Chains A and B, each alone.
Chain A
């Protein structure tokens, strides 16, 4: 019944879940974990401030990805940033324009936007047409975003989620239009472009820290603590694997390669 070829992955998952549970319990008992600042996420407030000052909108996209496949958590990470941004923008009366690439993301993104306005106590300022479905065709999506930024004179372009070849097009064009640019993705091929062309970059795993970073909610920070414990376990496993392999034992490696 149990698929033994996946036993190590299963154990890993159980360990992760247990560490998550442990950290949550700690947080509920009152332990406050430290959380370092992440410049790319701090910059979101700078964008809102600039937009409010200049009376111009902000553009944001939760990426060129959907919710149906294994890229879903990346899109959700983008939506978490949107959730915070929507509330801040509603509070300071800044227009926030969202572009999505896959149709199933549209209703979710609209709900998130509306919730932001409600949380800021200004449900009347929510405008459905500010959350837009563009296209799931790569460059139709990218060129329409740049068109939007140009026409609406946006002061910032925030891109968090999954991105592919359009990353450099989006980042460099919005920089040339004078936007503050924040780019965040986990795609190893595209990160170099975000690093080169964006003012701020969220590298890989950093995009998952948004929710905790913005809310400073102890329980959400506890999730990051569990993530860090996972990384320590990873380093330990790596160390043990190297030592055992050097000692001539292939057992651990075999398990890892399952």
Chain B
């Protein structure tokens, strides 16, 4: 019951949406479109679960006086301020936009920028000629890097063309191979979920 009913619902929904793709049956097409809109709505309602979970984890940090629990206090307060301000006024409110533009944007985009530093340290740490595979990774990586900036052009005029060739041929080939296999995997994985061969996402069977 507790796994069967959800299993049947999952199958019916999945089946309808697949049928909608292949057949022009107005009833099913409309129903499928509605279900897809409903799902967006349900996911939006679920955000409350997320907010509650975040608050629970951090109020517990405060209660248990975990290390640096004051950060959790800041989090809870700022979370509340953002939510109250956003709901009572709007996301277009001046103060709300001030917070977003001057706190959220700089931290977010700086973290994104630190990822570029980490890309550098990752390539230093792991791009070593250990075997054929890693040598190939290293050599093509360096060649394309050179071709993509003005430096490569200064060394030799054909560098950008070489980089482009590596991308056009080798990158395209392997990406396509991986993409097609992934597509097969996705279709099979979806099939096995829809027909109920895989049910771990429903949790325990009791």
Q: Which residues of A contact B (CB under 8 A)?
A: 1-3, 6, 9-10, 13, 16-17, 20, 24, 66-68, 72-74, 76-77, 79-80, 83, 102-104, 106-108, 110-112, 114-115, 118-119, 128-129, 131-134, 136-140, 142-143, 151, 165-166, 168-169, 171-173, 175-176, 186, 188, 191, 193, 195-197, 203-205, 207-208, 211, 219-220, 223, 226-227, 230-231, 234
Q: Is B22 touching A114 in the complex (CB atoms < 8 A)? A: no
Q: Is A2 touching B43 in the complex (CB atoms < 8 A)? A: no
A168 contact set on B, CB distance < 8 A: 115, 118-119, 122
Interface residues on B, range: 35 or more
Asked whether A1 and B188 contact (CB < 8 A) given A112-B200, A142-B111, A188-B178, the answer is no
Enumerate 9 A-B pairs (CB-CB under 8 Å) in ascending A order: A1-B24, A6-B22, A72-B190, A111-B203, A204-B181, A204-B182, A220-B197, A230-B184, A231-B184
Residue in A80, A136, A172 with the greatest tally of chain B CB atoms within 10 Å: A172
**Contact residues of B between 186 and 203, Cβ < 8 Å to A:** 186-193, 197-198, 200-203
Q: Is A111 touching B201 in the complex (CB atoms < 8 A)? A: yes
Is the C-beta of B123 less than 8 angstroms from some C-beta in chain A? Answer: yes
Q: Is A3 touching B23 in the complex (CB atoms < 8 A)? A: yes
Question: Within the assembled complex, what's the spacing in Å between the Cα atoms of A188 and B186?
Answer: 15
Is the C-beta of B121 less than 8 angstroms from some C-beta in chain A? Answer: yes
Q: Is A132 touching B57 in the complex (CB atoms < 8 A)? A: yes
Prevailing SS type, chain B contact patch: helix
Is the C-beta of B8 less than 8 angstroms from some C-beta in chain A? Answer: no
B193 contact set on A, CB distance < 8 A: 73, 76
Question: Within the assembled complex, what's the spacing in Å between the Cα atoms of A191 and B205?
Answer: 35
CB distance from A189 to the nearest CB of B (A): 9
Q: Is B112 touching A129 in the complex (CB atoms < 8 A)? A: no
Question: Within the assembled complex, what's the spacing in Å between the Cα atoms of A196 and B53?
Answer: 34
CB distance from A125 to the nearest CB of B (A): 14
Prevailing SS type, chain A contact patch: helix
**A140 CB contact (under 8 Å) in B40, B68, B108, B201:** B108
Stretch from B44-52, B90-98, B148-156 forming part of the interface with A? B44-52
Q: Is A205 touching B185 in the complex (CB atoms < 8 A)? A: yes
Q: Across the A-B interface, give the 3 residue pairs with the lowest CB-CB distance, nearest first.
A: A111-B203, A103-B50, A133-B50
Asked whether A205 and B182 contact (CB < 8 A) given A115-B203, A118-B204, A139-B108, the answer is yes
Q: Which residues of B contact A (CB under 8 A)?
A: 18, 21-25, 39-40, 42-43, 46-51, 53-54, 56-57, 60, 67-68, 107-108, 111-112, 114-115, 118-119, 121-123, 125-127, 137, 175, 178-182, 184-193, 197-198, 200-206
What number of A-B contacts does a CB cutoff of 8 Å give?
189
Q: Is B204 touching A230 in the complex (CB atoms < 8 A)? A: no
Q: Is A172 touching B204 in the complex (CB atoms < 8 A)? A: no
Question: Within the assembled complex, what's the spacing in Å between the Cα atoms of A215 and B126?
Answer: 33
Q: Is B115 touching A186 in the complex (CB atoms < 8 A)? A: no
A80 contact set on B, CB distance < 8 A: 198, 200
Cβ-closest chain B residue relative to A10: B22
Q: Is B43 touching A169 in the complex (CB atoms < 8 A)? A: no
Q: Is A134 touching B181 in the complex (CB atoms < 8 A)? A: no
B18 contact set on A, CB distance < 8 A: 13
Q: Is A79 touching B49 in the complex (CB atoms < 8 A)? A: no
Question: Within the assembled complex, what's the spacing in Å between the Cα atoms of A139 and B202?
Answer: 29
B201 contact set on A, CB distance < 8 A: 76, 79, 108, 111-112
Asked whether A227 and B24 contact (CB < 8 A) given A103-B49, A196-B123, A197-B122, the answer is no
Q: Is A114 touching B203 in the complex (CB atoms < 8 A)? A: yes
CB distance from A250 to the nearest CB of B (A): 20
Cβ-closest chain A residue relative to B18: A13
Q: Is B42 touching A104 in the complex (CB atoms < 8 A)? A: yes
A72 contact set on B, CB distance < 8 A: 190
Question: Within the assembled complex, what's the spacing in Å between the Cα atoms of A195 and B184?
Answer: 22
CB distance from A228 to the nearest CB of B (A): 9
Q: Is B46 touching A104 in the complex (CB atoms < 8 A)? A: yes
- What 19 additional pairs, Cβ within 8 angstroms, besides A80-B200, A173-B118? A1-B25, A9-B22, A10-B22, A16-B188, A80-B198, A103-B43, A107-B49, A115-B204, A133-B53, A137-B108, A139-B112, A143-B111, A169-B111, A169-B115, A171-B122, A205-B184, A208-B189, A227-B185, A231-B181
